[in-house]
Amino acid sequence: MKYLEGLNEAQKRAVLAKEGPVSVLAGAGSGKTRVLTTRIYHLIRESVPAEQILAVTFTNKAAREMRERVRSQLGGDGPLPFIATFHGLGRELLESYGKAIGIPRFFSVYDREDSEKAIGAALKALDVGAKELSPRTVLGRISRAKGEGMRAQEFYDKHGRGSFGARIVAEAWLRYEKTLREEKALDFDDLIALPVRLLEEHDDVRSLAQERWRYIHIDEYQDTNALQGRLAGLLAEMHRNLFVVGDIDQTIYTWRGATIENLLEFDKLYKEAQTIILGQNYRSTKNLVEAANAIIEKNKNRKEKYSTTERNAGEPIVLHIALSAEDEARWIATKIRKLMRESVRPEDIAVLFRTNFQSRALEEGLLRAGIPYKLLGTRFFARKEVKDALAWIRLALDPSREVDKVRAAAAPARGLGRITLGKLAAGQRSELRAGELAKVEAFENIIAELSHAAETLAPSEFVKLVIEKSGMRRALFEEGNADDRERFENVEELASVAARHDLSPGKEGIAAFLAEAALASDQDEMDQGEKRGVTLMTVHAAKGLEFDTVFVSGMEEGLFPHEGMGGDEKRDEEEERRLFYVAMTRAKERLILTLARVRKIYGSDFISEPSSFLADIDGTLLVLEEGDDGEVIEA
């Protein structure tokens, strides 16, 4: 079989393991995506209908790349398997079968900002100030409870008479759920919790879903939480064709509910399971692979796995010790300038940091040096003008959404205030003055026109129509200033994103586009027409990416590994080590580690010692550089 050519023996075993449960322990850079897509292609070649194949991963970006690879292997012909994120899978289950638990066909998805606003309104109604209990804290507690499978009423029954904090969370949750119902909306956690409830409580729906997808693939299985593990188990219960790929050494999300046990104990849950280890690293040079092995082998809670590579030794790892965070940033900028003179593209360079506060000094250093950069984390879909346009689009699908109506009425402004809209919502239309009524009717006519157009237009064409009919083009482009025109470019970019769904014209495609927008992660922002340049991001955000050159800044004891400075909770030492392993293995050609002797944190100067992780790297793999010219002074 020609499509197996170029695969190593372990990869071939994984591709050809057609029936039964399989766990693939895939080291960094081991070609796991190629294995997943080739296995899917192999199943289709073996006469498995594409519609019976499911593949789940963790970001829209990864799902799109997997989809494109499978499409390419199939030659662009025939149907594709269902390939989505966990939240995308949850959305599909609820749209297809959610009527059984009262979920409307077209629901919207609250992003974190929407949820925090709704929680904030609930706290205000309870006369609780943000200093007493912040919306973010309350939402985090609700999220954890949903991840454990709890419902609002169940939580209230358990905690409604407890401590002040627990009681307020319980009461705020009930109000939050009421808001979601009124807005025909779900939040991120609902997209996992409700499908699990649906499948567990409705045998007929569970059977339909199990027959629909007979072969199930899950990428990054080490990042699944308990509820996601239950969802996978429910879908695979009948046919047991569950193929999971993961790397215990890259488990870095336990703080948000991921459980390493899903992968560690896979062969206990599925006793007939095959375990296949992908140990060959195709990404990084030998020096980088050996250093990463030395770091991760210190962990105890893992399955034995040693990475190898056939690549050459490559450059040694560079270590630079700066006096301060500002000096560190200045040195990094100078080093990047030197690399760019040596024809390294800025797009092939990443600067990683452990915590967000580090980005300020790094940004300033790059700005002073005139180096183009992009900071991952400034989310495209969270920008005001983009959210304004999305509100218009959601209104076209469901004109009853009051939150979107208020937002759209002010974007651009058309003389409709909250009082006027409040009267409408309260059924007091007759109390409106003639001028107010005329503005309301003009607004409603636009929504009605858009709603009619949504029935047939391709999503990208519909977005263009929304931009025109809403008045956003006139306000931002024709009459706006330079900043407004830049905002208009962001709104226009929505049409490019929507075009991915043009094969499904009408409301189905538009709803799919809205779901993609709501579920976008930081990595997805790299695809949204952002300016090119060096990428700045946290190590957590870098997972799954690769760059020719990677800087890891802040290699100081207490910062990396992190020890909860500023009141943060103490981090798990093994997870910190896994996080450093992830950072190291993003690099293909060169890895540059930097630290500052003195760093200002929360307004105070901290004198730091080098990270204990550095002592685990063989000295023969490291060189120490100092000075702005990158002079090597010690091996």
176 Cα distance to chain centroid: 24
Residue 145 corresponds to which tokens in the numbers above?
């409870």
Q: For residue 403, give the H/E element and its range.
A: helix 402-409
Respond yes or no: is residue 250 known to be catalytic. yes
**Residues with Cβ < 8 Å from 34, sequence gap 6 or more?**
7, 11, 69
Respond yes or no: is residue 527 known to be catalytic. no
Pick from 23, 45, 512: nearest CA to 236: 23
Measured distance CA(500)–CA(386) in Å, rounded: 17
> Rounded to the nearest 10 degrees, how much is the dihedral formed by the CA atoms of 531, 532, 533, 536?
60
Where does 284-383 have alpha helices with state H?
286-296, 325-341, 359-368
Q: How many C-beta atoms lie closer than 10 Å to residue 78's C-beta?
A: 10
Distances (CA, A) of 453 to 405, 425, 446, 447, 448: 18, 25, 11, 10, 9
Residue 592 phi/psi, 5° resolution? -125, 120
583 Cα distance to chain centroid: 17
DSSP designation for 543: T
Pick from 98, 168, 102: nearest CA to 133: 168
Print burial letters for 465-477: b (CB count within 10 Å at least 16), e (below 16).
bbbebbbbbebbb
Locus of tokens 């997805």: 524
| Amino acid letter, residue 336 | I
Query: Which is catalytic among the residues 32, 141, 206, 283?
Result: 32
Query: Which is catalytic among the residues 12, 230, 305, 586?
Result: 586
Strand-strand pairing, 631-634 and 622-626: antiparallel
Residue 326 · residue 615 · CB < 8 Å: no
Q: Report the interhelical angle of 459-469 vs 482-498 (nearest 10°).
A: 150
Measured distance CA(78)–CA(73) in Å, rounded: 11
Residue 213 · residue 189 · CB < 8 Å: no
Query: Which is catalytic among the residues 95, 111, 183, 219?
Result: 219
Respond yes or no: is residue 549 known to be catalytic. no
Query: Which is catalytic among the residues 222, 250, 259, 309?
Result: 250
Measured distance CA(200)–CA(231) in Å, rounded: 9
Distances (CA, A) of 124 to 58, 76, 141, 152: 34, 53, 18, 19
Query: Which is catalytic among the residues 111, 171, 187, 220?
Result: 220
Q: How many C-beta atoms lie closer than 10 Å to residue 159's C-beta?
A: 20
CA-based radius of gyration for the chain: 26
Q: Coil, strand, or helix at residue 561?
A: coil
Pick from 197, 109, 114, 113: nearest CA to 152: 197
Respond yes or no: is residue 181 known to be catalytic. no
- Give catalytic residues, as residue numbers: 32-33, 219-220, 250, 586
